[in-house]
Amino acid sequence: MGPSGNGSYNGLGIFSGTAQPVNLTGGVDGTLLIFYTSVSKLPTSWSIPYQNGTESQSLAMSTDGGKTWQQYENNPVIEGPPGHWNITGFRDPFFEPLPALDALLGREPSYYAVFGSGIKGVGPRMPLWAAPASDLTKWTFLGSLFEPADNSSLSSVLSTGSYGYNFEVSGFFTLPDEDGHLHYFVNMGTEGGNVSFHESAHWALWNEGHVTRRANGSAEFTPISGGAGDWGLLYALSSFNDTKNDRRVQYGWAPEDITGDGGIFSANQQGFQGALSLPRELFVHTVKNVVNMDGLVTEMGNSYLTQNLDGSFTAQTLGVRPLDDVVVGLRNGSTQHSWPGRTYNGSQTLVANGSAHMELSAVVTSASGPAGVRIGVSPDGREYTTIYYEPANNTVVVDRSHSSLIDGFANSSVIGYFHPYTTQGEYGNATQEALAWDIFVDGSLVEVYINERFALTTRIYPSMESSTGVGVYVPSGSSATFESIDMWSNLYNVWPERPLNSSSQLVWDTVEQTNNRT
């Protein structure tokens, strides 16, 4: 399915959307239904004047498992944004049923859709639309679900990111906690909120919030906590309800990270551009008996706190972890290496020749300063990537200054915020939680997970095939205790039919073709 040609409603682009396993009347008969943004005018950007008629919303169906698609004959089903908005954009429908919202708004069973949008000079917006569950071609605008101000933040930018000026690839869903209570979440890609420690103009954020009924029958989302769905370059995060396994699964898009020409020079050499992340499970992450040792816990930020009778708190946030069954599958046929717990008083290489496709797990119980691991280490020590936690400002740092010897690849450090909980024991003793690292390397792609509530994706591009060493990072003058370290090298190749080397052969133009190379 692709653009149909200039002059039609989807002539110049088919932008993002979501899918549900239902037909146009909400029936389950093997049909897949896609709700997507159809584009008839370009260019479009939040930073330039919006051309009326640029984006509309359309439907397409598949009855053969997604092999072929048929456009709905009366597309588009939403011809444009709310008429009174001076918008920055209107794209990327995310739709699904929300029985809890039906009850709150007093509606018959409906599907709800949110979009990425914004109002120029005011702030990003998440417009909310609804359709009867029995007719997914009849969409009605209810109002704006979420209304932050231009370039604002829920809390500090360091801990919760920037809302920027426009939303893209928005999402709106519920998750139950371990006691069965429902929590409302939104996620959004934000544009224009780059800062010194986050060089990208994009953020991938989430917020939890309270949802209330507006007087006009719409809904209002008021955030109570938030953070980054991924602190690195992963963008356009979208999730779906995996009903077969009773879980919510999220994917994200990892673009290349090339300076200068945006990756044009490397496209042919690699044979591809961009990749999807590992599929992730989203859930309500709960930790009890949290104490406010440094005053940061009670600030509005990554966790929503409920105070207990003894003065401690129950902290809840959006949890994220790679799907367990996917990890098990990746380890199938791999080689596992394990190192017993010990205290390190300096950096040390553990494996000189590892793998460019591996998982590294490490648990750090205490450290006197920064501590972490090194990956992508070359035998001569010229290439390496350092991943560590900096307790001085509660940040996770991926130092890429030596990741590649090739000019043209981004080598700036990637920074994410992570505040460890301190919990109160049975006898009143306070203990800071250990850091459980889970790091996946797949060629240039690196995904970092910590304590099932932190994710960071980045690129490293080692120039040497031998840059596969792994080690412990403890800077001079510091010490760190590792409870365990495990590595699975040569993870399972999930695309065995693809060539191991997908790059295109270089073409050398002759002297005659280039007029003596002038």
Establish if 167 belongs to a structural domain: yes
Helices (H), ranges, 60-143 = 99-105
Instruction: Please say whether the beta carbons of 424 and 312 come within 8 A.
Output: yes
Better-predicted residue by pLDDT, 25 or 518: 25
What tokens were used for 501? 């080397």
Q: Which residue from 46, 58, 49, 63 is spatially nearest to 11, judged by alpha carbons? A: 58
Instruction: Please say whether the beta carbons of 185 and 196 come within 8 A.
Output: no
3-state class (DSSP) for residue 243: coil
Q: Which residue from 247, 149, 166, 171 is spatially nearest to 201, judged by alpha carbons? A: 166
Q: What's the pLDDT tens digit per position in 138-168?
A: 999 999 999 999 999 999 999 999 999 999 9
Q: What CATH number is given to the structural domain containing 85?
A: 2.115.10.20
Domain edge (last residue) among 213, 230, 247: 230
Instruction: Please say whether the beta carbons of 317 and 301 come within 8 A.
Output: no
| pLDDT given for residue 266 in this prediction | 65
Establish if 276 belongs to a structural domain: no
Instruction: Please say whether the beta carbons of 204 and 320 come within 8 A.
Output: no
Instruction: Please say whether the beta carbons of 308 and 314 come within 8 A.
Output: yes
Give pTM, 2 decimals: 0.94
Establish if 138 belongs to a structural domain: yes
204 with 349, same domain: the answer is no
Across 255-270, average pLDDT:
71
Instruction: Please say whether the beta carbons of 377 and 456 come within 8 A.
Output: no
Q: What's the pLDDT tens digit per position in 14-47?
A: 999 999 999 999 999 999 999 999 999 999 999 9
Q: Quote the CA–CA distance of 456 and 468 in Å, as a whole number.
A: 20
Radius of gyration, CA atoms only, the chain: 24
User: Would you list the DSSP string of 313-346?
Assistant: EEEEEEEEEE-HHHHHHHHTT-EEEEEEEEEESS
Q: Quote the CA–CA distance of 74 and 31 in Å, as a whole number.
A: 18
Q: What CATH number is given to the structural domain containing 360?
A: 2.60.120.560
Is residue 408 scored above 90 in pLDDT?
Answer: no
pLDDT band at 508 (very low <50, low <70, confident <90, very high): low
| pLDDT given for residue 499 in this prediction | 83
Distances (CA, A) of 197 to 88, 157, 162, 395, 413: 25, 10, 12, 11, 8
- Bridge partners (DSSP) listed for residue 141: 129
Establish if 116 belongs to a structural domain: yes
341 with 223, same domain: the answer is no
Work out the number of other CB atoms within 10 angstroms of the CB of residue 385. 25
Domain edge (last residue) among 176, 209, 230: 230
- Bridge partners (DSSP) listed for residue 110: 132
Establish if 105 belongs to a structural domain: yes
Q: Which residue from 190, 187, 216, 215 is spatially nearest to 203, judged by alpha carbons? A: 190
165 with 20, same domain: the answer is yes
Establish if 254 belongs to a structural domain: no
226 with 345, same domain: the answer is no
Distances (CA, A) of 469 to 47, 384, 436: 44, 8, 21
Residue-range definition of the domain harbouring residue 43: 13-230
3-state class (DSSP) for residue 454: strand
Domain edge (last residue) among 198, 214, 230: 230
Across 409-431, average pLDDT:
92
Establish if 242 belongs to a structural domain: no
346 with 219, same domain: the answer is no
| pLDDT given for residue 407 in this prediction | 84
Better-predicted residue by pLDDT, 265 or 443: 443
Establish if 511 belongs to a structural domain: no
Q: Quote the CA–CA distance of 151 and 122 in Å, as a whole number.
A: 9
Count of structural domains within the chain: 2
